[in-house]
Chains A and B, each alone.
Chain A
Amino acid sequence: MSSPRPAVAITDHALEQLKYIRETMERSGSFTAVPGWGGVAMGASALLAAVIAARQTDNHMWGIVWMCEVVLAVAIGSAFIYRKTRRGDRSASAAPGRQFFLSFSPPVAAGGFLSWILYQQGAWNVLPGLWLLLYGAGVVTAGAFSIRIVPMMGVCFMVLGAAALACPASWGNWFLAFGFGVVHIVFGWIIARRYGG
């Protein structure tokens, strides 16, 4: 007849092993190459863009300034992701990186398409809220495959986007400055300090 006490230990050990497997799988499935310093640099460039855009009297020129900022931010982000993945001997195209970008892309692509339609209709006033809201949605969904702070950052963008849509259109540029500028800088700094660059 077997004694019950060793069986208790066996069960506890089995539960520990299952917990260890789950935790290891979760860690290995995360995209950890979100660039903190890249976020700070993107934020700084967005603040500069906001100042330049605020000086424009023509809506088209205002839009062009922000389009240039998008190109610049993508270049900065890509360069810092490449740098961080290389330093960690990781590949951005590995499964977690692929899942991150596949989740990030659809809301951002929808934002780009809607922006084009609204641009044709001259609906400039809704663009800042739309950009913040859909960029935030992309960050939240992609954040499911990354460190926990990333979806939190996405929620901040979404809240700012919703607020921008509810507030007077003349505040739009400053919502963009606060969102793409300050939020990127604050979260980027936290990510850089806590998650290695």
Chain B
Amino acid sequence: MAKSTAFKVTALTPAAGSVAMKETQALDRLIHEKVRLGIVSALAASGPLTFTELRSLLETTDGNVSVHARRLEEAGYINCIKRFEGRVPRTEYSLTPEGRQALERYLDHLEAIVGAMRPR
């Protein structure tokens, strides 16, 4: 454990720290939040998912999924389709091309931050 801490501290030159700071500032704040990041990641991996699927996948509450999904929908990152199957309402979410690009950009930034800290 001590070895790992020493490695991290010695790897941090001021230049690397500066790159990491810059990349952090460039992170998309909208999908940086955990539930929203979970929604976008799940939709990117599996395609369209229902409200219930997302809720159980992310192990969160109805309200959380609802609020965060609405934020993503307003940003144009996800689509929401509401319909009835018989008498049962069904809400299905899917990722838009903009949402996929946002996730890819976010991953690029994270990788840049981690890459800046690697010893050269």
Contact = CB atoms under 8 A, between A and B. Distances in A.
B53 to A, nearest CB: 6
Contacts, number: 94
B74 to A, nearest CB: 22
Contacts of A15: 114
B117 A7 contact: yes
Contact of B52 (A2, A3, A28, A88): A88
Interface stretch (A17-25, A121-129, A170-178): A17-25
Contact of A11 (B8, B37, B44, B56): B8
B79 interface: no
A1 B15 CA distance: 9
B53 A90 contact: yes
What does DSSP make chain A's interface, helix, strand, loop or mixed?
helix
A10 B14 CA distance: 14
Interface in B80-120: 90, 107, 110-111, 113-114, 117
A91 B37 CA distance: 23
A148 interface: no
B58 A7 contact: no
Contact of B45 (A24, A88, A90): A24
Given A10-B21, A14-B114, A29-B46, A24 B56 contact: no
Contacts of A39: none
Contact of B58 (A6, A24, A88): A24
Interface residues of A, number: 28
Given A14-B110, A24-B38, A28-B41, A2 B17 contact: yes
Nearest to A15: B114
A95 B114 contact: no
Given A28-B57, A94-B49, 5 more contacts: A14-B20, A18-B111, A21-B107, A28-B49, A88-B52
B108 to A, nearest CB: 11
Contact of A4 (B17, B43, B107): B17
A103 B16 CA distance: 45
B20 A10 contact: yes
Nearest to A90: B53
Interface string A88-111: 111100111000000000000000
A27 interface: yes
